[in-house]
Chain A
C-alpha cells in the first residue's frame, strides 16, 4: 500500500534529477569551452570548415535554441536527426569520433562494467569473509590487523594503489621473468574469458583494496549486532555447528546494511574506474570522458556525465527499493 503511493514519487524524483543534470551539464560545457567548433574541427581547418561545424552544432544560435536542438533534435547525420526524441534516441553527435554519443558510450560500457562489477563482486566476497571472521574473533589480533588495514586502505588514493600494484605485480614480476599480469590492454569476455580475467586482475585489485578496507568493517559491525540476538543464542544452544550459525543464521540478517552500501559503492567504484581505466590503458567510458573533457568534445562530455549520473541515481533507486522490500518498516 505504502509502495503504491511512494513508487511514482521515487521515480519522478529520479527522472527530475536526471533532467536537471542534463541541462546543467549542457550549461557547464557551454561555459567551459569558449569555442568548441575550433576544438572540434580538424587541426588547421579554415574558417569555412569551422563555421560549418559551428552551424552543424547550432553554435550560432541563442542558448535556448541550442539546448532545444541538442536535447530534442540533434544534428542531421546521413539525413537522420541524432536527438533524444528520435529513434534510436541519442545524446548528440561527436564530431571528433564521427559517431553518435549514445553508440560511443554503449560500445565502451562492456569494459567499464567488467572493471566495476568484477571489482564489486571480488570486494563483496572478500569483505564478507573477512568481516565475519573479524566479528567471530572480535578484539583478537586478526580483528586489530583488519582494522589497521581498513585505515591504511582508505588512505591510499586509487591512482597510487594502481601505480604501486602495477610496479610490484607487473614491472617487478616481469623483470624476473614471471609474466602473470599484463601491464595494460583489454580482451573481450566473449573472445577469451581467461584472457579477459587476466587483463582485468590488476584493475580489479586496484579498485578492491579501498573497498575491502571499508566494507569488511561494515560487515563486522552488522554481524556483531546480529550475533548478540537471542535467536543466535538459541541456535547455538540447539547444537547447530558454529559455521552454520554464522553463515546461515546470522549472515542473512546482517546483510541489510551491506546491500545498501553495496549499491552505493557500485557508483563509487564506477567513479574510481575513470582513473583506473586511464592508468591501465582500458578503453572504457571513463577514458572516453577524460579525453572528451580535455578536447572540448562537449556532446560526449554531456553524454558521459548523464551516463554517470544515471548509474548513480539508478543504484540509489535500486538500493531504496530493495531496502523497502526487505524491511518496509525501516525504509526512510
Chain B
C-alpha cells in the first residue's frame, strides 16, 4: 500500500458472530485536514477505530495507520496518535496538575503552550480533581491533553456526546482555534451535523461497515436536492422515483429528498402529474440523515 494516506484500509472486514461490522471496507484518508466520519449506530465506526489502534484484529483485510500495520503499533507509534473518546476517560482521583505532569513525562513532544491555549477556554484549575470537573470541562481537558501531545493524527470519537450547547461550542472553538489542530490530521466522528459542517473538510459516510461516500461536505450536500411538488392524489409510486431518499406529504404537498438528480427530476415529477414543482437546497444534517435513513432496517411491512 502507498504511504500517502494517514489511514488506509483494504477489504477490511470484521465479523461478530454472524454479523458483519465492517464489510470489505476500502478507505484511504489523506494526511492533513479534518475528516468527519459519520454513520448510524452500528455502522462500524468504533470497530474501525479499535482495529486501527490495534485493539482488535480484523477478520480479514488490511488496516494501516501512519503507514504501519495497525496490529503492529509500537509505543513510539502510539505517541504519534492522539485519541479522545466520548467518555473522556481520565483518572478521576488525580488532580489536573498531576495528570498534566504524567502526560508531560510520557509524551516527548509535549507542548505546554498548546495545552495552556486549549485549557484557557475552560475554567479548570490545576489543583482541581479530575473527578470534580464538569463533563464539558473534562472534555476540554481531554482535548487539551491530546493536542499538547502534538500528535500527527488525532482521533476524536464523538467527543461532544452528552455535552450541553455551551460546552459543545467551547469544545469546538478550542479545537478550531488551536494551532496544534492545524499541524495534524483530525478524524472527527460525530452524529452532530452542525459540528461536522463547522469543522470538517472531508465527509466520510459509513453504512453497514461499508464506505458509502467521501467528499467535502458541501459536495455531498450538493448531491442531495429537496423537491416540493403539488401532485394530486397519491403521486408516483415511490419505487419509481429515481434517487429517492425520503418522501413526505405535508399540507397536500409532496416533499422529495433525492440523490444525484438534476433538472430531469422536475420533468419526472411533472410527467407524474405535478402541477407545480419547486427545488430547494438542503442542510448537511438533513441530507446525511436522509441518506442514512434510506437503508436503515425496517420491518417488511413498512
- A and B bound? no
Which residues of B approach A to under 8 Å, CB–CB?
Answer: none
